[in-house]
Structure 1
Amino acid sequence: MTVKLSSSILAKLPPEVAGPKYDRAALKAGIVHFGVGNFHRSHQAVYLDELFNAGLGHDWALVGAGVFDGEKVGRGKLQEQDWLTTVVEQDSGHMSARVTGAMIDFLMPGDAAAIIERLADPAIKIVSLTITEGGYFIDPASGVFNPTHPDIVADAQPGATPKTVFGIILAGLLRRRDDGIVPFTIMSCDNIPHNGHVTADGVIGLARLIDEKLATWVSENVAFPNGMVDRITPATTDRERGILSSEFGLDDNWPVFCEPFRQWVLEDHFTDGRPALEKVGVQFVSDVAPYELMKIRILNGGHATIAYPAGLMDIHFVHEAMQEPLVRGFLDRLEHDEIIPTVPPVPDTVLEDYYQLIEHRFSNPKIGDTIRRLCLDGSNRQPKFIIPTIAERLKAGKGVAGLALESALWCRYCFGTTDSGAVIEPNDPSWDRLQTTARAAKAAPAAWLAMEDIYGEVGRSTLFVEAFAKALKALWADGARTTLTRYLAGNL
């Protein structure tokens, strides 16, 4: 016997499912969030739910927002259950479920007028974002905002109805400026280096195309705190819905399954106040950069390290990849030889302990994270998580054999077949381009590194070009298993 999630059953949830301890009807909106996906609902929304459970911050409830038609599907699923989400934490020997109620509304994605109206409301003090790496209109190689992107150019036209996140946010800020209302803080919760600065570049860059005075006003009056966020949260499938129903007796249209671990390090820089998130474990610091660099290089770089060899070996789940000695060995050696040495000291953190934690988290057999998810969107992820490490190694005159192999594995994956010959379905917004280039690189490896927007100067380094070509040729000649065996033996 199962029950369907909705507000009406919160008082009679199944016995092993925790629920909100606060009156959701008494919550007031204080945050508009763009990008209501699994990560947001396992991370920011959970922190807020815990704060509300502590009897604090009830005027900081969430209102969802979005710009793409595809987001209407998720909105519909949440609307059917009164914006509630079940969050299931899983690890070896541990599984718990809780219903979170921090979201109280979800504006129709793409309805710019309604979203701008809500952004103009003085009660909204923070606009937060989880729009993925590709949503910031930045040039992959340089990390700089691209003002020539067609969507940005369209939003900058006089009288245009904004269609991008930045265009809608800017329209909301303009309304507040004209109405004499304190501007909201814009808080990125995406895994991007210097995410606050990147967001500022996007909003101010668009403003500059419209009106230089507006750009100056935004620069001088709006806060863009940098933050580091972390929680492994895979996509929801029927598998997760089935587990929730069978193990806990609860039916949820869109539950979130995640690991128990979570972290949020945030600069304490806000325009008009913030919730007391330090009461529920958020670390407020003056400089996020050390934490951010550690996480992006060791964790996100580690994900990229195991993703592509596992993908070529037809491994489905991340924990299964960690059970493969060649993949686990590649991760361990590349991290210790080339990645971790580029990470400066982090306050109150032992880098080796952090790596061991990462290795444990990757090995979690319950989370159900997939290799395909880790392989997704390499054209946006590699320039943020891998290529800067290569650049730093090259600048210091250090070896890059392992990082060159990681890049070669990505190239080989983008060819579109595994070592067994199985077809790899498109797994990147630029898949056609990547596949065409990977096919050219089979005979001429330098063709892959000639993607200037991705590799930049790294792709012109003689040392890296030679190491990459050697690795790619080995992968084509011998396959991923033999190539990794040679690398681990010091023979590549």
Structure 2
Amino acid sequence: MLTYDGLKTLPKTVAGPSYDVRKVTPGIVHFGVGNFFRAHLGYYVDRVLALPDQQNWGVIGVGLRSGGQSDRKAEEFRAQDGLYSLTEIAANGKADIRVMGCLRDYVHAPDEPEKVLALLADKATKIVSMTITEGGYNIDETTGEFRTSLPTVQDDLADPKNPKTIFGFVVEGLRRRREAGHGGLTVMSCDNLRHNGDVSRKAFVGYARAVDADLAAWIDQNVTFPNAMVDRITPSVSAEGKAELNKRSGLDDLQPLLSEDFIQWVIEDKFAAGRPAFEKVGVEFTDQVSAYEHAKIRMLNSSHLILSAAGMLLDLKLVDEVLAEKRVHKFVDSVLEKDVIPTLKAPPGVDLHKYKETLLTRFSNAAMADQVARIASDATSKAQVFWTETVRAALGGERDRSRVVYCMALLLELLRGRSEKGGKITLHEPFLSEEQLKIAASDDLKASIGLPAFDGWRDLLTPEIEQEVAHARELIRKEGVLASLPV
């Protein structure tokens, strides 16, 4: 088992911490110790700890869930002294393996709530970070406000000094900090969520306002919520995958981790109580995070959706398998090069053409085993976010619109729910009604053009363009995806 003592005898192919793990003290409390946190924020902190005078930025992990995997995770992290191995694999198959020492403790909140609150109130804690998923912030999509009606939130509001939710823990911890005169700190979202700092502020201040308006005002003035963009593919690891990773590393690790070799973190430099020297380990600080988010959505997410739709129709399971089809690769490259990049303002210092090449290389990484079904989920909503600006630029001007029209046809064929071999495609479209799903499944080439997927550019859909979409759908059905691609 991977422990402190084992660091002395690591295999030659495995790098260990270049700092004394036992001398690291915590400065960060992190909620949601999943794979992405360990491969992203944990990665950066591990490198910071190797720098001079940076050993006070260790991480204390906090788990909020009870039972099953959560209990086992707590046991395994503690058994391994918080150590875990990270295997980074590049698209060419080159692997880099290292043991990470940034996680200095793991607290299971249902078992030790007072320990969590004490950590949050401790003057040594400078940052509270989180990976609680994009939907974990409890913001009402209609009003844009924090939902106090959720039963777990109601329970916390009824007894705020004995919280169960992340909102209850953080706000009660901040109340205790204020009472002790320890000042504010930074609440830092590491979730893949646009304007994640603004969303975090709305969530935590919204909860605090329901508890105590004066406390909410103090948090608003003394706590910072930096916006950030995060990016790294970190797949889940099955039991077989764990065995394979340990075989490759020669370790006996209960929690081995896999990621691609690419990593990016762009964040605002708004830290209320100090921060690690992240700029020395590759983190980009900027006041234009939204520009990076925008480029990621229009290039990474948009092309991901094209690949997933094509893959589902081709009965392919993995992103790299879809991109390995030469005609698909050429088509996605052309959409990015000819339809996206000319209509996208690059973030400061970013070469969009190089970014495109990086994306295509990342998508080709077979070791990530990225499933197209995961990406195709909720395609109706994703298309409105990822495709709208590109589609509007193509339909509203003198530009060649053939590729964009084909993307629309591809999406509608996906929503029809039938692969080109006649197999059933299981759709996850939570925002389509039963009636809309019936329309999507229809063989009618034009009926589903009225679905919400096209709402972002409906005003530009002339009868001529609708006919072009219908014709592209007809070609997909007759010739198949590969033969019908306009490349």
Aligned position for 1:144: 144
Q: Contact 1:267/1:288 (CA < 8 Å) preserved in 2?
A: yes
Amino acid corresponding to residue 95 of structure 2 in structure 1: M
Deviations 1:341-363 (A, max 9, x none): 44213211211111111111211
Q: CA RMSD for the aligned pairs?
A: 3.6
The answer to whether structure 1 residue 44 and structure 2 residue 41 are counterparts is yes
| Aligned residue identity for 2:360 | E
Post-superposition offset of 1:438: 2.9
Q: Is the 8 A contact 1:90 1:260 kept in 2?
A: yes
1:365 equivalent in alignment to 2:386: no
- Indicate the SS of the match to 2:27: strand
Q: Which of 423, 434, 452 lines up with 1:449 in the alignment?
A: 452
Q: 1:20 aligns with which of 10, 17, 22?
A: 17
Give yes or no for contact 2:475–2:484 (8 Å, CA) kept in 1.
no
What secondary structure is seen at the aligned counterpart in 2 of 1:64?
strand
- Which residue number in structure 1 is paired with residue 81 of structure 2? 82
- Show the 5 A alignment for 1:204-283: 204-283=205-284
Distance in structure 1 (CA, Å) of the matches to 2:395 and 2:55: 50
Query: Of 472, 482, 488, which aligns to 2:480?
Result: 482
User: Is the Cα–Cα contact under 8 Å of residues 3 and 80 in structure 2 kept in the other structure?
Assistant: yes
**AA matched with 1:157:** L
Structure 2 residue identity aligned to 1:186: V
Note the 1:62-461 alignment, pairs <5 A.
62-69=59-66, 71-91=70-90, 92-110=92-110, 112-138=113-139, 144-147=144-147, 150-151=150-151, 154=154, 157-159=157-159, 162-376=163-377, 378=379, 384-387=385-388, 406=407, 409=410, 413=414, 418-422=419-423, 430=430, 437-443=436-442, 444-445=447-448, 448-449=451-452, 458=456, 461=459
The answer to whether the 8 Å contact 1:405/1:472 transfers is no
- Sort the Cα spacing of 1:181 and 1:423 in 2 relative to 1 into closer, same or farther, 3 A: farther
CA 1:33–1:409: 2 relative to 1, 3 Å: farther
Q: CA deviation at 1:117?
A: 3.1
Q: 2:28 aligns with which of 11, 27, 31?
A: 31
Q: Residue 253 of structure 1: SS of its match in structure 2?
A: coil
Contact 1:407–1:468 (Cα < 8 Å) also in 2: no
Contact 2:146 2:207 in 1 (8 A): no
Q: For residues 465 and 119 of structure 1, what CA distance do their matches in structure 2 show?
A: 59
User: Which deviates the most, 212-221 or 44-53?
Assistant: 212-221
3-state secondary structure, aligned to 1:488: coil
Report the AA paired with residue 54 of structure 1.
Answer: L
3-state SS of paired residue (1:107): strand
1:86/1:97 contact within 8 Å kept: yes
The answer (yes or no) to whether the contact 2:406–2:486 under 8 Å persists in 1 is no
TM-score (norm. length: structure 1):
0.84
Letter in 1 for 2:107: L
Q: Deviations over 1:376-417 (max 9, x none)?
A: 565775565445665787888988775676566556546665
55-64 vs 419-428, which moves further: 419-428
Cα shift at 1:419: 3.8
Q: Distance in 2 between matches of 1:334 and 1:245?
A: 40
Q: Distance in 2 between matches of 1:382 and 1:73?
A: 38
Aligned counterpart, 1:60: 57
Counterpart-to-counterpart distance in 2, 1:29 and 1:468: 59
Q: Is the 8 A contact 1:136 1:202 kept in 2?
A: yes
Aligned counterparts of 2:11 and 2:168: Cα–Cα separation in 1: 43
Residue identity opposite 2:56 in structure 1: D
Q: 1:176 to 1:315 in 2, by over 3 A?
A: same
**Which whole-Å CA distance do the structure 2 matches of 1:23 and 1:401 have between them?**
59
| Per-residue deviation, 1:366 | 3.4
SS in 2 for 1:82: coil
Number of aligned residue pairs: give it.
478
Give me the identity figure in percent: 35
Contact 2:319 2:369 in 1 (8 A): yes
SS at match of 1:89: strand
Q: 1:47 to 1:113 in 2, by over 3 A?
A: same
Deviations 1:241-286 (A, max 9, x none): 2332332212323322222221222211101000111121212223
- Tell me how far 1:78 sits from its aligned partner: 2.9
- Structure 1 residues 484 and 243 mapped into 2: Cα distance closer, same or farther (>3 Å)? same
Distance in structure 2 (CA, Å) of the matches to 1:167 and 1:403: 46
The answer to whether the Cα contact below 8 Å between 1:414 and 1:435 also exists between their aligned partners in 2 is no
Cα 1:396–1:129 change in 2 (3 A) is farther
Between the aligned partners of 1:464 and 1:32, the Cα distance in structure 2 is 54
TM superposition shift of 1:329 = 3.2
Q: 1:312 to 1:50 in 2, by over 3 A?
A: same
Contact 1:155–1:167, Cα closer than 8 Å, also in 2: no
Paired with 1:213 and 1:397, the residues of 2 have a C-alpha distance of 56
Supply the distance in 2 between the matched residues of 1:139 and 1:405 (Cα, whole angstroms): 34
SS of the equivalent of 1:352 reads helix
For residues 5-43 of structure 1, the C-alpha deviation after alignment (integer angstroms, 9 at most, x for no partner) is: 233311111121111122222211111112222221111
Structure 1: how far apart are the matches of 2:56 and 2:241?
32
When the two structures are superposed, what TM-score results if normalisation uses the length of structure 2?
0.84
